[in-house]
Chain A
Amino acid sequence: MSISLFMSISLATYPSIGHQTKANKERQSEKPPLDLSSFLPHLLDLFSLLHSTMGLWFVRSRLAHHLGQKMASLGALQRRSWPSVSFLQLWNPLPSELVGGFSSNPINRWSDQRFASVKAESAAPVDDRCRYQVMDFPGGKVMFIPEMRFLAESPGERISCYRVLDDDGQTISGSSFQEVSKEIALKMYGDMVTLQVMDTIFYEAQRQGRISFYVTSIGEEAINVASAAALTIDDIVFPQYREPGVLLWRGFTLQEFANQCFGNKSDYGKGRQMPIHYGSNRLNYFTVSSPIATQIPHAVGAAYSLKMDKKHACAVTYFGDGGTSEGDFHAALNFAAVMEVPVIFFCRNNGWAISTPTTEQFRSDGAVIRGQAYGLRSIRVDGNDALAVYSAVHEAREMAIRESRPILVEALTYRVGHHSTSDDSTKYRPVDEIEHWRTARDPVSRYRKWIERNGWWCDDAESELRSNVRKELLHAIQAAEKMDKPPLAELFTDVYDQVPSNLHEQERLLRETIKQHPGDYPPEVPV
């Protein structure tokens, strides 16, 4: 294992895209021109009318923070070939703190490159239209140009990351976000804490050999719970496996979680799958399947059904950074764009796929940038900021359903736990990297500061909550452990809707064998 690889990821920064060198400085930024007609309605509730009618692209950098807002005209309003403004652009006001956190030289990038490119672009089009020919081509008009220009491999500076709460749990001034009622806010916090307690106790149960396997969501509590909070129960969820908080939010009980992990007779999956492969028909949460990324295109098909049935709901699918390498991810995004379906693709970019860092997973700027390539509206969000996740998913859902369109959300976060109970992540990543994300970037304590600041939470409430959840969970585990496994007959059901004759025969033979050799079989499975 090469240590140098891991050391190259400095603590506070996120793995940067590979080639931010010369080529990028020379790059021509092909920024999508704005389509005013579709731009306006969304813009109204986000920016001032003044800004929008002027077609302004504005950013806020540390520099801008001091100097006031810098603005520059895109000058490309007359070009109508681009379908509409991207979600990215809508949410662009950039908290300076994040720039600092996610790129090495924020000030220069944002002040020089961004504005330089805007200038370069705004100078060209007016003349271009007279000088150069335009061809009608499927998808819109394409302008012929005399220079040979390759699109750069990356847009230069990384896509910015939407954030509402700063590291200290304060709302960043000027941030636009969805209001959260006290009740919802507290339920969100309660569920994040519950998820933490659940992870601690189930992990321990695995270590004691009481369950065979477990996967924690530590570090991704905000993603789990806040994204779920922004959906309704009618939205159909297609999970990967690190999203049990979505189920929790929807009302899956601790007893139901425990039953699945113990594979007892009350497990809806009838003990057939490994622990953490939850699923709930009642809660519109499709059953977890271990193969990576397979659920992503399912969500697109389901979304098409919602669209055909004119339901006021969308499909939502979660997946990791690793998942975005699978063919299924790409197929799904393309299908979704072409079929124009209400689906939210939620990528949990937690930096690691088992031992593989994102730098060895892709060289694009994460997942978010790929949305645009497939024709999807996309946003990057701070996955450790519950309010940002909540707001982004809330808005994504609105747009997905109202406009019947797919939206890609990429949440930047970190897998604080080992990949699973079969993994020791200190073999491939530095302990202080883990520690940093576990402590300084913990999404739960950041959010707690916010609710405390609102006067909604205090230490007493905290300890009461934790001890109640703990008690309830230990009780649930005990009950789940005591319960019988599902009966033998269930081994043969559900392969098909009806048990076919070959399985009847196999069941008969098996029962004879069990009579001959009862000691070969676990007594907790009732025969």
Chain B
Amino acid sequence: MALRGLGRRISIGKRCFSSASEVEKPPRDGKPINLFSAINQALHIALETDPRAYVFGEDVGFGGVFRCTTGLTDRFGRNRVFNTPLCEQGIAGFAIGLAAMGNRAIAEIQFADYIYPAFDQIVNEAAKFRYRSGNQFNCGGLTIRSPYGAVGHGGHYHSQSPEAFFCHVPGLKVVIPRSPQQAKGLLLACIRDPNPVVFFEPKWLYRLAVEEVPEHDYMLPLSQAEVTRQGSDITLVGWGAQLSVLEHACDEAAKDGISCELIDLRTLIPWDKETVEASVRKTGRLLVSHEAPVTGGFGAEISASIAECCFLRHGLQLEAPVARICGLDTPFPLVYEPFYMPTKNKVLDAIKTTVNY
């Protein structure tokens, strides 16, 4: 880290990273905390370990509407942690400029449902900053955090899962954690990754998910899926809050003697096709599941890719069509939420159908 400061002056484009080592799996030695506290810890560490890191967004000053930024202003001051005006395009654009000057800009969009005003900045600016300049410039220090997904009563505009839009954009990384421990390690990796990252946080789990999280600084690898459960009959792929739905489905399926392999994709782009492919080669079957509407969801990309590579290769083939259990092709509806959702039983039924195909 001796390079920091000096290196920055010399070349705006090259960011130096104060980074803890990357680990495959964090040691299970921490205190049990929930997901928003894990995010909060990660932000503390990010600000602590890099004086050129900044955290900002609507209402982050008092701790944020989900409490993820609690205590940061007191600790790091209002120059480094601050409220912005209510303007997502402004937040994203400001963050890009800040990042382009060699800083770590950690921007919060209050809800993923409200990220669309920032779409132009993210898609046309952040994602293409490096490419269009021939790598003279980059905004790699940019991380946009945003809560996504269902909460049980969010209706159209507090429930959306817009990840697929961003997965269609070369130059961005899209990362979604499934648990507190994952959230902390992945967020720190995103903040320190030299590329712009959109980090969606499963808001349903902010308080609900509690697990032991190491207190120290650690990062989990990006673009590396994790096989969270080994199995032989079918591969299930998901991310974020949907992982726990899939886990329950695996448990139920096991009662019927079906052995499921469960993969948390974690990074959606660039995604870890190899891990999924290897698993499907073993099981011969694939089910993908996400909350976002099925049509054009990221599940479609996974399905197509796996069909391409596993349809008939090395003598192995898919033994059943790829199943997709996802949100419906409707806006996210309030009273119909239980009908809209890719529930455990919908997944379970699809596992059985696929295995018995």
Contacts and interface: CB of A to CB of B under 8 A. Distances in A.
A54 interface: no
17 contacts: A1-B63, A213-B153, A271-B336, A272-B335, A290-B157, A291-B157, A325-B86, A353-B58, A354-B59, A356-B85, A361-B85, A361-B86, A491-B330, A491-B336, A502-B329, A517-B343, A522-B338
A202 B64 CA distance: 26
B334 A271 contact: yes
B86 A289 contact: no
A502 B61 contact: no
Nearest to A326: B87
Interface of B: 58-59, 61-63, 65, 73-74, 78, 82-83, 85-90, 113-114, 116-117, 153-158, 294-295, 328-331, 333-336, 338-340, 343, 345-346, 349
B261 to A, nearest CB: 24
A272 B156 contact: yes
Nearest to B336: A491
A485 B338 CA distance: 13
A362 B85 CA distance: 7
A327 B157 contact: no
A516 B343 CA distance: 13
A520 B347 CA distance: 13
Contacts of A325: 85-87, 90
Given A274-B153, A327-B87, A510-B328, A354 B73 contact: no
A116 B88 CA distance: 42
Contact of B333 (A355, A491, A510, A513): A491
B87 A291 contact: no
Nearest to B63: A1
A491 B330 CA distance: 8
Contacts of A362: 85
Contacts of B62: 1, 355, 427-428
Interface string A454-496: 0000000000000000000000000000000110101110010
Contacts of A172: none
Contact of A274 (B59, B85, B87, B154): B154
A482 to B, nearest CB: 15
B331 A291 contact: no
Interface residues of A, number: 51
Nearest to A509: B346
A274 B158 contact: yes
Given A360-B83, A516-B349, A289 B340 contact: no
Contacts of B156: 272-274, 290
A340 to B, nearest CB: 27
Contacts of B58: 353-354, 356
B61 A492 contact: no
Nearest to B64: A355
B330 A273 contact: no
A181 interface: no
Given A272-B156, A495-B331, 14 more contacts: A212-B334, A213-B153, A277-B155, A289-B157, A326-B86, A326-B117, A327-B117, A355-B59, A356-B59, A428-B62, A517-B343, A517-B345, A520-B338, A520-B343
B32 to A, nearest CB: 25
A353 B86 contact: yes
A525 interface: yes
B333 to A, nearest CB: 5
A323 B86 contact: yes
A281 interface: no
A485 B65 contact: no
B63 to A, nearest CB: 7
A212 B152 CA distance: 9
In the complex, the 9 A-B pairs of residues with the closest C-beta atoms, listed nearest first: A271-B335, A290-B157, A325-B85, A212-B153, A322-B86, A274-B155, A491-B336, A428-B62, A325-B86
B61 A263 contact: no
Contacts of B349: 513, 516
